[in-house]
Structure 1
Amino acid sequence: MSGLCGYLNLGRDARCGPLPLAASTASLARFDAVPVRILTDEPCGLGIAACADSVSVHQEPGLLAAVWGRASLDAGKAQLAQRLVTLWRTRGPQACAELAGPFAACIMDGNTGHVLLAVGRSGEHTMHYQGGPQGLLFATSVAAMPAGELDAQSLFNYLYFHMIPAPRSVYRNQQRLQPGEYLLYRQGRMERGAYWRMRFREKQAAPFVVMKRQFLGVLQDSVRQATEGADRIGAFLSGGTDSSTLAGLLEKPARTYSIGFDVDGYDEMAYARIAAKHFQTDHHEYYLTAGDVADAIPRIAAASPQPFGNSSIVPAYFCAQMARADGVTRLIGGDGGDELFGGNERYARQAVFARYEQLPSALRQLLLEPLLFGLLGRWQAPLPRKARSYIDQALVPMPARLETYNLLQRYGPGEVLHADFLAAVDAGAPLDQLNACYWESHGLSQINRMQALDLRYTLADNDLRKVSLACELAGVEAAFPFLDDQMLAFSARLPPRDKLNGVRLRYFFKHALREHLPRDILRKKKHGFGMPFGQWLLSDARLRELAFDSLHDLKPRRIVRTDFIDRLTRTLVHEHPAYHGTMVWVLMMLEQWLQQHATPRCAAVPADAEKTAADPAPRA
């Protein structure tokens, strides 16, 4: 059997985040014919940096197992890795289903030549891997993997999603696991499969009083699990229902942290203050400035393992910095509440479009559409114009309808991207990936299909990466009670109408928490930590110079068309700063990342880069 090298970053220090990796500090443990290298900055024993609360290690002749994170198995955490090995020998990869909580795990069995990699159900932790002639390389961070050529398709996916969703990585031939997945390596072959998927039970429902009691119990248990073992707990507080709910459940006086913006239409500090006053928290505030953003951009790009274009990472980072200065070691985030309980505005909007599909086809095709697009097609009065727009969107099938306002789609890939780059990618791959996820479970309601999509794309690859990276950069740990395994299971059995009742969002959630949350919080619309980058771009010379210089430096890379960059910076962003400013941010962060991470060998995408499939690892 060929050698297996596992580069596994299992060390973690709450003050500095995941320990960086360097080959010069590697320790080498040999299991018969299987060399296994585990790299950390401060090797201890097998080379895994010691941190009793975050890693469990088990070694025996020919075998090494490790579990990283706040995981548990059955009733406790003692000898976690050893017990996982026992289950592995009888159940194979499905042994991972017995692990609860956020984790990344590996079992390297030199006796059989098998390696098992896995991540938790919510995808809080990542696992990257790469197969080759020498065997298998893997790591919990892409930064620990050997840098190779940039993957053109992944860069295209970044421009489409503003992040790179799994299973791809920014480098060619490297992949990563999705939530609830495992990778089994045996006899030189990689097989990827799922030990867990969200299984919705739409027809099972208990009376409201029973469901409420269960929900409140699960919620309290989830908060307890998320705070267990931390020296000093704090909470993000945006003033929304999720963050306010969690702040009210922490041990009093809870430490809460909020970011404000001195720009009309963006500041939500008033709601954060309502929640802080209601729950009597020890509240801390900071008003972000354009100068803060300019300072943070290079730091965030340097810390990002791959290009990441969600601008709300900046306020999250300053929030985490404020908490760290206050001595907080773990920050609680409300991420997941919207997705699990029907809180996103797009759920209601798509429900309205779905109503058109429910009309009899004869009424739609023989009356409404010929009337509005034929006889009244040139009539530009507001009512028929809105009706035509409604039908146009309703006729787009899901999930493509969700991408109606996708920036890259609206501009047109051919208008944005260099011809050589566009020829090297599959422009339809992102939508194919969304379709595969959306239709994975047949017969589900639209709200649950959208939830399954959001768990993977909105959460695992976007919001969780944003908050986790912001916290790591500030030196604190992040935890997400709404993504506790029990909470995922509760959401799966919650009837669709209790998530979205007509167009009323969070129907069950808000009714269950009426005695807990202030009325003003229950009635407010979601906002979060959205940042007025577009407005600041026009008003702050230093931030504008940084952004526009970055876009200028991006031009010779032959990824984005020069004329599009010129039109974006000279015309479009001035016409609509908020809308077009998002694309400026996405392109700026791409260039900033390339400057700090791409070696001369991989700095430019080759014009003849081959097209690759969206899901390159075979499934078990």
Structure 2
Amino acid sequence: MLGRPQEIQIQSDCALASGQAGQIATFGPVSVLLCGRPTWAEAALAQEAGRRGAAELLARLWQSHGLAALDRIGGSFALALYDRARNEGLLAIDRMGICPLAYAQVAGGLVFSTDLSVLCRHPAVGRELDPLALFAYLYFHTIPAPLSIYRKARKLLPAQCLHWRQGNPESRFYWQPEFTASAKPEAELARELRQALEEAVAGCVTDPKATGAFLSGGLDSSTVAGYLKRLAPDSAAAFSIGFAAEGYDEMEYARACARHFQFPLHEYYLTPEDVIAAVPKIAAAYDEPFGNASAIAAYYCAKLAREHGKTCLLAGDGGDELFAGNARYAKQKLFALYQRLPAGLRTALIEPLVAAGGVPGLAKVKSYVEQAKLPLPERLETYNFLHRTPLSDIFETDFLASIPTDWPIEHLKEIYHRPKASMLQRLLYLDWKLTLADNDLRKVNRTCALAGVEARYPMLQEPVVELAIRIPDRLLMRGLELRSFYRRAFKDFLAPQTLAKPKHGFGLPFGVWLQFHSGLRELAYSSLDQPALSGIVRKDYLAALKQAHSNAPSYYGVMIYVLMMWAQWALAHPSA
């Protein structure tokens, strides 16, 4: 807790979700709690942190630099600081949101924790659920910061700090990316990237024998695994998950990478029975509902690594969001072409012609025009479940009346328009928040912790990020080619199969398995009947969802999974 001096409590409860204990230090009137693996902007600071400890160094920097101390720390961290002399407090998390931190304002100060399950134990916070957070969960399949599942708790956003002075908290972003295109030749930028990533992998490895790598066979995980092999030639190993379902398995690419770099690959093929066993465990492990089905694959992958003696796994998360690897970036470039046509041509000819219909072959053109007319970032949500069906058909009337249903779009707008940047750069920045901090990093951190493994992220180290934001758009994507610059930069390092691999993702064939596996169907459908959904989601919508799933299992299986995990989370975390 941050408050009056006699109320200060800096406890071991404030530890990372990964189970990593925090450092506590006091220097003069300043007390600091620091969690994570911080890095430093200057070599001299790194040496001083090694001598004094990172928490004490931060206390000293605060006394001499105030809030500017945050400019000199990087890596992954969550921190809490209290200055008794100034009666000031500070909460902050790292630039990419690797480490979470939740807080609540209470009488006399702030209470905080990296785990909402700890924070809600405070009697002034409690377990009252936030209806807007539940709505946002169904919209995003995770609860994005600053919302939390509990009405009185909020979460810090990436690179955000909360400065508490004389009883008044004020939030701000202590860092914002400056997307400035470098004038350096492509070859020089590529050399810098290879060096930065190799050093980032080395910086994430403290015990080579205990460190392995996630491996999907894609560009990022293959790069990380390759550099791990170079760093630890005798102990490097990778771990992969396969699916015995057509269109989902990528093991051939993981095997090609393992052959190319000559390290052992440990494989595990996931089954519906594994999903049934994991769902209650994973729901209980998260401090709020989490609906990304690939968490199950991540858990079994981390579990496999732990069984082979690894206590740390390097993940490739972040590469697509830094170097333009998601298919939506190319799709939005196509839509942007329509906006470049003369306004008169669009409104006087194309749109009336499309609206009139009756012309053979215009169906796809009509869909294109309807989407292209929408502004960004709204256009990204065209296929969102909550835009494809009227909200009144999904939610109970009283629940719907209690929330601002435009919050998700307004949240997207605020993030998208925050940086001064191009369309592509804004899309990347938006994904840093929604795809990484709110989703993928939570997925990997929590499932690794459940398996007894710590996850680390070479792609998200400051030198790599700072280089990525200097790569010109024309190099990041050549036309509609995803990851153009990255592929060219690593063409002599990665396997040919890796370089040619199409973007796939790490999806779980949940909807497909749900069709034929009675045990999995029983778990999912019985979850939809749980009291947690009562009064919120309409029963006739749930019935329609089950029926629609039989016709489009992959698509509707996603929403069934999201609702199932909400109900399973509620069973494991009963509210007051």
Q: Could you say which TM-score interval applies, normalised by the shorter chain?
A: over 0.9
Q: Which residue of 1 aligns with 2:12?
A: 40
Q: Which residue of 2 aligns with 1:99?
A: 73
Aligned mates of 1:115, 1:528 — CA distance in 2 = 41
Q: Which residue of 2 aligns with 1:480?
A: 457
Quick check: 2:286–2:446 contact (8 Å CA) kept in 1? yes
State the Cα distance separating 1:284 from its structure 2 match.
0.3
Pair 556,352 (structure 1): closer, same or farther in 2 beyond 3 Å: closer
State the Cα distance separating 1:556 from its structure 2 match.
5.9
Pair 34,229 (structure 1): closer, same or farther in 2 beyond 3 Å: farther
Aligned mates of 2:84, 2:422 — CA distance in 1 = 46
Quick check: 1:103–1:119 contact (8 Å CA) kept in 2? yes
1:448 aligns with 2:420: no
Quick check: 1:184–1:192 contact (8 Å CA) kept in 2? yes
Q: Which residue of 2 aligns with 1:378?
A: 358
Quick check: 2:532–2:567 contact (8 Å CA) kept in 1? no
Q: How does 1:340-359 map to 2 (within 5 A)?
A: 340-359=322-341
* 1:244 alignment partner AA: S
State the Cα distance separating 1:501 from its structure 2 match.
1.5
Q: How does 1:281-360 map to 2 (within 5 A)?
A: 281-360=263-342
* 1:168 alignment partner AA: L
Aligned mates of 2:522, 2:102 — CA distance in 1 = 35
Q: Which is further off, 553-562 or 117-126?
A: 553-562
- CA offset digits 1:419-472 (Å, max 9, x no partner): 111111111100000011111124x22110100100001000100000111100
* 2:32 alignment partner AA: A
Quick check: 2:15–2:21 contact (8 Å CA) kept in 1? no
Residue in structure 1 matching 2:559, options 570, 576, 583? 583
1:71 aligns with 2:38: yes
Q: Which residue of 1 aligns with 2:226?
A: 248
Q: Which residue of 2 aligns with 1:414?
A: 392
Residue in structure 1 matching 2:365, options 383, 387, 393? 387
RMSD, aligned CA: 1.9
Pair 219,402 (structure 1): closer, same or farther in 2 beyond 3 Å: same
Q: Which is further off, 386-395 or 224-233?
A: 224-233
1:83 aligns with 2:57: yes
State the Cα distance separating 1:163 from its structure 2 match.
0.3
Aligned mates of 1:580, 1:54 — CA distance in 2 = 40
Aligned mates of 1:48, 1:518 — CA distance in 2 = 39
Q: How does 1:383-532 map to 2 (within 5 A)?
A: 384-442=362-420, 444-532=421-509
- CA offset digits 1:216-254 (Å, max 9, x no partner): 111111111111356511111101111111111112252
State the Cα distance separating 1:127 from its structure 2 match.
0.9
1:57 aligns with 2:33: no
| TM-score in terms of structure 2 length | 0.94
Q: Secondary structure in 1 aligned to 2:554?
A: helix
State the Cα distance separating 1:357 from its structure 2 match.
0.6
Quick check: 2:26–2:59 contact (8 Å CA) kept in 1? no
- CA offset digits 1:287-318 (Å, max 9, x no partner): 00000000000000100010000000000000
State the Cα distance separating 1:548 from its structure 2 match.
0.4
Quick check: 1:230–1:329 contact (8 Å CA) kept in 2? no
State the Cα distance separating 1:57 from its structure 2 match.
2.8
Aligned mates of 1:432, 1:270 — CA distance in 2 = 42
Aligned mates of 1:35, 1:412 — CA distance in 2 = 49
Q: Which residue of 1 aligns with 2:123?
A: none
Aligned mates of 1:200, 1:566 — CA distance in 2 = 47
Q: Which residue of 1 aligns with 2:156?
A: 177
* 1:69 alignment partner AA: G
Pair 60,246 (structure 1): closer, same or farther in 2 beyond 3 Å: closer
Aligned mates of 2:384, 2:496 — CA distance in 1 = 34
State the Cα distance separating 1:411 from its structure 2 match.
2.0
- CA offset digits 1:6-40 (Å, max 9, x no partner): 5xxxxxxxxxxxxxxxxxxxxxxxx9833222333
Q: Which runs of 5+ in 1 are unaligned?
A: 7-30, 42-46, 602-620
State the Cα distance separating 1:205 from its structure 2 match.
2.4
Q: Which residue of 2 aligns with 1:22?
A: none
Pair 134,530 (structure 1): closer, same or farther in 2 beyond 3 Å: same
1:192 aligns with 2:168: no
Pair 100,503 (structure 1): closer, same or farther in 2 beyond 3 Å: same
Q: Which residue of 2 aligns with 1:547?
A: 524
Q: Which residue of 2 aligns with 1:116?
A: 90
Pair 428,52 (structure 1): closer, same or farther in 2 beyond 3 Å: closer
- CA offset digits 1:328-354 (Å, max 9, x no partner): 011011100001001001111111111
Q: Which runs of 5+ in 2 are unaligned?
A: 121-125
- CA offset digits 1:163-193 (Å, max 9, x no partner): 0000111101211111111111111111011
Aligned mates of 1:52, 1:241 — CA distance in 2 = 29
Aligned mates of 1:565, 1:234 — CA distance in 2 = 42
Aligned mates of 2:483, 2:460 — CA distance in 1 = 16
Q: Secondary structure in 2 aligned to 1:252?
A: coil
1:131 aligns with 2:105: yes
Q: Which residue of 2 aligns with 1:24?
A: none
| TM-score in terms of structure 1 length | 0.87
Q: Secondary structure in 1 aligned to 2:202?
A: helix
1:573 aligns with 2:555: no
- CA offset digits 1:479-498 (Å, max 9, x no partner): 11111011110011110111
State the Cα distance separating 1:502 from its structure 2 match.
1.0
